[in-house]
Structure 1
């Protein structure tokens, strides 16, 4: 029984993407002059913060003053709330929430660009921020060893990967990508303000909890903003990746369709399975071979030899024929075999005894007067 395969969830998603003949054109941000100037200013600020920390400038003194102030002791009533609020900067929970939203956007707009842009931004963020973290090796406030020092180059100590702040940079990129992918200018302005508030609050929360220096937060803001400002340069790469994925999807879908067998009508329950043509031909040949041997009398097999069908005719056919198994004939339906003569050998002595004992002699002819001739 052959049936059409049921479409999977992935097939339904791809069918949804192809429901419209052409995907709607989206407002893709371009690297304008204003964006280039803003990118250059942010990069300058980034380098300035790094140099200020490396040279143990006034910024390092501000870091120590904020740490010794211990904000978590000054306002302990908000400590429990901020412990949960800082989760909005962790990469795992925020990535799940934003992925769900962007997945719905992909479904509605029939495009893969939102998910590809978000994945590209996260990849760029991990590479740039991770390289600086492990390259500078700065220890956090809880692992500080000397008051007034910049706590740099501690590569092999615990907690030496906090510069820049990963929570702050991730908050900037994760919530800022919503503004970057906004469909209208009005939605982009509102989402930009919301992402700025989220990233600022998450960064200051890490300072309150004592897990980051203030300079870590400043560098995290700059790192996340650089990633968002550099995304328009990567839009051609995102577009090529989308076209490649859709082309691979089409090839895979066409290959799956080519491997599906032709649809055959359903057979009712209880119908015997069809047999190949070669099996049916062999049965018919066997029946033809056996029929003359049953119907012909003994001694006649040499006179009329059975006619066999050539074996080549059974092998040359390639057409599938569905044959139901033929019922076996009952014993009463078989033709009776009548022998031409008796097979018992003659017994001469028995015939002589019968003639001598009880057999009547042959009649004699009568004469004219009615008496038998003696």
Structure 2
């Protein structure tokens, strides 16, 4: 009977943490479809309508003042401490670090830079569009309002549209934009919508933004997300350029790395300058160099190593003393005269 081992939840988590051997082919890259173009156009029209309603001091401006006089932070003071921390989910610095860490892990696991490049593109678009609108319209916030009932436009402020709200829409919405499956995209879209809605209403509760600022912030963040497919070809070219640069650096590093030579191998390392000079030698110099090379030392001559008893002696066998005519061999009679008398 065949039994299958059931993996625990921790085993499944570690299995998902394993790095994939290559970039998966099922990564879905959103395209600028007709449905997305319609949504982008509708959101842009809503953006322009909010700006026009504030410029002409319509009913939206009167609603802003009514909410400000209502002072929600005084009506529900028990949630003030919690919302002070919750509004951090709309600050650009902390949220960008958290989302970049997650997308960086995804980039490493899937062997692609698209998640990080898409996040960088979205943040650049957000800073350019929202920053230009803030300083271009210069609206003052509720705490710095000067005339009751006025729209407070072009007074040197920087709160229209709401940067916290737009940043929450883009930062958390990029997770849904880069989701791999439709189910994950639906769940992450709902999560980012709840977070951005909560952040926008929190700024109204704290009195740092008008209600119209939040409405324009939602529209500004949604415009950035809807426009991202137009920048996908640029992201793909940037990714290919970065990978090609990495490959060139690796090949250059491998070419300049020293080559390991086995111990005992008769190899001569020639410096690059010397090798270049040898290649530029004249034909008359090359035979002389070859002749000098052929007369190598005996101890450098390659060959099989033989033990000492088997080697051929360099001197003849026998006595190493030079021959002497007057020397008498041992054991022979002496030829000298005997002195005495």
State whether TM-score is above 0.5.
yes
CA shift for structure 1 position 154: 1.3
TM-score after normalising by structure 1: 0.65
Q: Provide, for residues 214-262 of structure 1, a one-character-per-residue CA deviation record: whole Å limited to 9, x for no partner.
A: 0000000000000000001111111111111111111111111111111
Residue 24 of structure 1, CA deviation: 2.6
**Matches of residues 175-190 of structure 1 in structure 2 within 5 Å?**
175-190=172-187
Match of 1:7 in 2: none
TM-fit CA distance, 1:264: 3.7
Please give the alpha-carbon distance, in whole angstroms, between the structure 1 residues aligned to 2:247 and 2:155.
51
Query: Who is 1:67 aligned against?
Result: 68
The separation in 2 between residues aligned to 1:254 and 1:241, in whole angstroms, is: 20
Structure 2 contact 62–149 (Cα < 8 Å) conserved: yes
- Aligned equivalent of 2:250: 253
Distance 1:183 1:243 in 2: 21
In the alignment, structure 1 residue 133 sits paired with structure 2 residue 134: yes
Question: What does residue 240 of structure 1 align with?
Answer: 237
More displaced 10-residue stretch of structure 1: 90-99 or 257-266: 257-266
Q: Does 1:87 align with 2:88?
A: yes
Length-normalised TM-score, structure 2: 0.71
Residues 327-350 of structure 1, C-alpha deviations (whole Å, 9 max, x = no match): xxxxxxxxxxxxxxxxxxxxxxxx
Encode CA deviations 1:248-297: one digit per residue, 9 max, x unaligned: 11111111111111114579xxxxxxxx99xxxxxxxxxxxxxxxxxxxx
Preserved contact between residue 203 and residue 209 of structure 2 (Cα < 8 Å) = yes
Q: Deviations over 1:72-122 (max 9, x none)?
A: 000000000000000000000000110111011112211110110011000
Cα deviations across residues 114-163 of structure 1 (Å, max 9, x unaligned)?
110011000000000000000000011111111101111112xxxx1000
Supply the distance in 2 between the matched residues of 1:263 and 1:98 (Cα, whole angstroms): 44
- Does the CA contact (< 8 Å) of 2:166 and 2:220 recur in 1? yes
For residues 108 and 230 of structure 2, what CA distance do their matches in structure 1 show? 25
- Are residue 38 (structure 1) and residue 39 (structure 2) matched? yes
The question of 1:215 aligning with 2:219 is answered no
User: Is residue 43–residue 226 contact of structure 1 (8 Å, CA) maintained in 2?
Assistant: yes
Aligned to 2:124: 123
Equivalent position SS for 2:149:
coil
Measured against aligned partners, the alpha-carbon deviations of 1:29-80 in whole angstroms (never above 9, x if no partner) come to 1111111111000000000000111111110000000011000000000000
Partner of 2:202: 205
Does the aligned pair in 2 maintain the 1:24–1:109 contact within 8 Å?
no
Q: Is the 8 A contact 2:168 2:196 kept in 1?
A: yes
What SS does the aligned partner of 1:218 have? helix
CA contact (8 A) 2:20 2:109 kept: no
Please show how residues 202-351 of structure 1 align to structure 2 within 5 Å.
202-264=199-261
Q: Which has the larger radius of gyration?
A: 1
Q: How well do the aligned residues superpose, as a CA RMSD in angstroms?
A: 2.7
Superposed counterparts of 1:158-177, under 5 Å: 160-177=157-174
Which whole-Å CA distance do the structure 2 matches of 1:18 and 1:197 have between them? 32
CA distance in 2, matches of 1:79, 1:236: 45
Q: Is the 8 A contact 2:140 2:158 kept in 1?
A: yes
Report the 3-state secondary structure (helix = DSSP H, G, I; strand = E; otherwise coil) of the residue aligned with 1:153.
coil
Give the CA deviation at 1:17. 9.1
Alignment check: 8 A CA contact 2:20 2:110 kept:
no
Q: Which residue of 2 aligns with 1:112?
A: 113
Gaps of 5+ in 1: 1-15, 268-275, 278-311, 324-374
Q: How many residues align?
A: 260
Q: Distance in 2 between matches of 1:228 and 1:238?
A: 15
